[in-house]
Structure 1
């Protein structure tokens, strides 16, 4: 990791320009500090998934049946659960998550990747009686179109590993988050989500009672309503970024001018 960081730092220092998938208002203080150490101009062009909406970034096949299931659910009632394309958990954590979701009594859409639990083919490791206990209140798929799911009116919360792409997509849809980071930038992202932007709750221990309580705090209690209001405020700021005079649009123009001058 030291070698990776050294290579990455050298690449930054020697670059003629740096493009960041972020929004100026989200990380203004951090960006101002980074700019003091890196000579290359930094252009914030986030959210990239809004600038290039037709590009699909997933290598996994998306299951569209979850959209028809979402269409039958009440507005803002569903918690969407996805730990991304790389995170893995063990069998005990899968079981605790399953019973926590069941006990929450909330409808949920859960992405369970093949191999998310080591050597699993799909959902064969879910506990006995789980699927019968949740019935039609649950939809479990191998993969979903996350951008489409997060934008759906029925989704009211996002239980995430808090990778940066997932975080950006959630912010753009104004969704409160339940955060269970596993490694890397997910830890720092969770700190920002819960303590700086205050649009989420951190799940410290993957235990069924804790899962149930956190879901209810986020989706049912007054605390969750306050968090949802802050998340919606960030969504409005994200929309402004993409407007004609918004920070992202201005950064895109600045980048174009920079490239034009560099090629002369």
Structure 2
């Protein structure tokens, strides 16, 4: 009651400040602190702000500090005067690792601390929020806080519809004995997920299914988040209807309102096309400085001749795995642009020595950079294939650009995505659970030469559909309009 009273006083002050005008809808956005999640949610936040919503975007203190150092916050504030960044602690010591498997420690810590931190933010707001848009992996904290304050929560799942549907079956996978996967035939089809019974093998299930015991805490965590997500008033997905229509229909059995608004990285550019896109915070990397010189390097290569290699912001490798990829790429005879982060290599060997050795070996064969402007790279005419970890943002960016993929998934949703790329949409190859140099070489050669024509037939159709979806009149463009209308309808009910 004390918190609600404070809200009412703040609301009256805002009304006076607006000189009798109705205040704009106020949306609070809560992502998990990983680049692949922050980026699409920030794209949506900018789109909502562009449509005259007030936005409060909540990062963890760690992300807030590192991310905003790369953003011209004054230019951003001039562009989006109703947009505010705030931060909450993630509950971990400053020197705790937050990449690689360290992200799981962050999730467990936020599970215990996020609700209280979110409540503190909500109480401090001058204008009460119209709604909360929370990452699907933050739904427990958001739903509980939202219910306490009478604020509806919309779940934004930054995964594909196929993977989102799979996560709603985690309990069933336990009941059917599919999980744990230990000592099972990994190529056996999983038949208990309706709509995907002829698609997913055991090895294609999300990485959290690779557990040793039924009470694994990480598996339990995701079951709990999926259960909380069912209480959300709507589901937002960074996908487009034409890509995943059958599974979207299945998700309709859980959510009465589903808004597919992807590929968000393009929809943002389309909707904010008349403005200076360099002021958008969503175009910035959270932790790494982009090497824009790689675009000049690409300019010197013929069309469709280069393999772009990037495994995202969290995936790590042993030195042995790196060398297998290296030999496979070199043996393929194709030039490559390879992103290797400073924290990519783990293990007993000195990663700096390995990276220096690889950079020296790469001369005349390829280019290694610490980070790249991925959307620009994929759109470059010289790029003919993408060796990727199959993160959902990367998958959508590749589909939109029409670049076929070789998928080497590591964890999370990536196993599901890579299976869909190879066996549902047929726009690439799935190389999960192995990276021997001979396999890497063969897949690069097949995708760039022998089987390219077959793959490109599917990719060209899918790419055109993705491009159409974000244009005015397209499915994602229309669904964003519907989402904005829904948020405004919630706001009007509160007045």
Deviation at residue 8 of structure 1 after TM alignment: 2.3
- 2:285 is matched with which residue? 58
Q: Deviations over 1:48-78 (max 9, x none)?
A: 1112244225221111111110000000100
Deviation at residue 121 of structure 1 after TM alignment: 7.3
Contiguous gaps of at least 5 residues in structure 1: none
> 2:331–2:441: 8 Å Cα contact kept in structure 1?
yes
- 4+ residue runs over 4 A deviation: 119-123, 130-134
Q: Which has the higher contact order (CA 8 A, sep 6+)?
A: 1
- 2:487 is matched with which residue? 259
> 1:162–1:180: 8 Å Cα contact kept in structure 2?
yes
> 1:110–1:138: 8 Å Cα contact kept in structure 2?
yes
Contiguous gaps of at least 5 residues in structure 2: 1-217, 270-276
Q: Which one of 231, 242, 252 corresponds to residue 25 of structure 1? A: 242
Alpha carbon RMSD of aligned pairs, Å?
1.9
Output the CA distance in 1 between the equivalents of 2:472 and 2:360. Answer: 51
SS at match of 1:5: helix
Worse-matched range after superposition: 244-253 or 172-181? 244-253
Deviation at residue 210 of structure 1 after TM alignment: 1.3
- 1:178 and 2:406 equivalent? yes
Output the CA distance in 2 between the equivalents of 1:208 and 1:10. Answer: 42
- 1:14 and 2:241 equivalent? no
- 1:206 is matched with which residue? 435
- 1:48 and 2:233 equivalent? no
Compared with structure 1, are the counterparts of its residues 210 and 2 closer, same or farther at alpha carbon in structure 2 (3 Å cutoff)? closer
Q: Deviations over 1:73-95 (max 9, x none)?
A: 00010000001110011111111
Output the CA distance in 1 between the equivalents of 2:351 and 2:297. Answer: 20
Q: Which one of 304, 307, 318 corresponds to residue 90 of structure 1? A: 318
- 2:377 is matched with which residue? 149
Output the CA distance in 1 between the equivalents of 2:221 and 2:261. Answer: 24
Compared with structure 1, are the counterparts of its residues 99 and 64 closer, same or farther at alpha carbon in structure 2 (3 Å cutoff)? same
SS at match of 2:300: coil
Output the CA distance in 1 between the equivalents of 2:334 and 2:239. Answer: 32
Output the CA distance in 1 between the equivalents of 2:352 and 2:376. Answer: 23
For this pair of structures, how many residues does the alignment match? 261
- 1:124 is matched with which residue? 353
Return the index of the structure with the highest Cα Rg.
Answer: 2
Deviation at residue 195 of structure 1 after TM alignment: 0.2
Q: Give the TM-score of the pair, scaled to structure 2.
A: 0.50
- 1:219 and 2:448 equivalent? yes
> 2:235–2:255: 8 Å Cα contact kept in structure 1?
no
> 1:12–1:38: 8 Å Cα contact kept in structure 2?
no
Compared with structure 1, are the counterparts of its residues 254 and 123 closer, same or farther at alpha carbon in structure 2 (3 Å cutoff)? same
